[in-house]
Amino acid sequence: MNDWRETTLGDEIELAYGKSLPAHAREVGQFGVFGSNGLVGAHIEACVKGPGIVIGRKGSVGAVTYSTDAFWPIDTTYFVINKGGHDWRFLFHLLRHIDLTGLNSHSAVPGLNREDVYSISAKLPLRDEQKNIASVLDCVENSIRIERAALENAQELKRAAMRELFTRGLRGEPQKDTEIGPVPESWDVVPLGSLGKIGNGSTPKKTVAAYWSGGTFPWLTSAKVYDREIEVADQFVTDVALAECHLPRIQPGAVLMAITGQGKTLGHCAVLRIEASISQHIAYLQTNTERAEPGFIRGFLETQYEHLRQVASGGGSTKGALTCAFLKSLPVPLPPTLDEQREIVTVLDALDRKIGLHQQKRAVLEELFQSLLHKLMTGEIRVADLDLSALSPASTQLEEATA
């Protein structure tokens, strides 16, 4: 880092106030209008030449946004004047690394004080190294965007496949109209409660040590439904809790559903692969596996997610919930054979594996970006020291960007 120099942000940049442009005064055009939380619209005029950087002054304090073209930052923002002639993309990543969101003034009207920003110390490399650093980070972020788009496509493919699978099946037979819409002629529509016992659990008092201390029996909260295939537990209760709190001993093959909550959890489902008990926020279907394949039931319930949430929020309640009585009467389609159900599950499982792969790739790339952002901005590593082959599939782009 011998060629890096110590400075302060105030010596390198100036933060200028954005200019008011209310929504009613905008005429849709080619120039982006930026608020404290990013792009908020478009206008026929710009008041700042691009490229440029916008920083949230009020509202999303310290949020950093980049504009390639000329733009209009509104009066809840600052825009950056690049006094030091630095590479714009490097400057953008530097400000993100510094994390200005922690500089909220906490006054009666919270906001970002320019002097607080100006006082921040920084070490800056020469402009060529700035460009190389920015290129590496941009390429990794581009790979993240590509992976995010691939994930969204895979999720949409699954949604489309589920619409077809649960209305047409896989065997090309004619359809019939039912209370839930068209299904293959040989399928039945039955109440969910006819496919096994439905119930829910409870939460032993946390203050009673005899219920929790030394517990070995798995006990699940509604957060576990995101696993979709539940094979491990995070919490365990004792035999005393099982007996005194009337906790159900749910067997593998049950379908679990989150039945309460104001967030996105309500309506999510999972298949239980271990013996476990559950909280009162989860309902279970102890599936009769001679009639129904658990993965098939879970797959259909996934198609009902929005409907289930609408039912839960009915009556204007601020705390949505589904009841076991409702779930028992919920109509579900049922192919006549387990083999046909399993064929559909096989298709859905393949799509889930594809989705999972993209989720894993995105997570790895996001972790890589954060690591590189810190290490490159602090000079802990240099671009020349990177083994770019380890960054596949972005390695080719990175090598070209830093050649």
Is 0.85 topped by the overall pTM?
no
Note the pLDDT of residue 391: 55
pLDDT, tens only, 29-69: 999 999 999 999 999 999 999 999 999 999 899 999 999 99
Note the pLDDT of residue 283: 98
Other CB atoms within 10 A of residue 232 CB:
11
Domain 126-146+164-185+337-403 adopts which CATH fold?
Helix Hairpins (1.10.287)
Q: How is 76-107 classified by DSSP, letter by letter?
A: TEEEEE-TT---HHHHHHHHHHHTGGGGB--S
Instruction: Give the chain's mean pLDDT.
Output: 93
- Superfamily (CATH H level) for 1-124: DNA methylase specificity domains (3.90.220.20)
CA 18 – CA 80 distance, rounded (Å) = 10
CATH 3.90.220.20 fits 188-334, yes or no: yes
Angle at 307 between CA 304 and CA 312, to 5 degrees: 120
Q: Using 70 as the pLDDT threshold, list the residues of the chain that sit under it.
A: 1, 105-109, 315-319, 388-403
In the chain, which residues fall in CATH 3.90.220.20? 1-124, 188-334
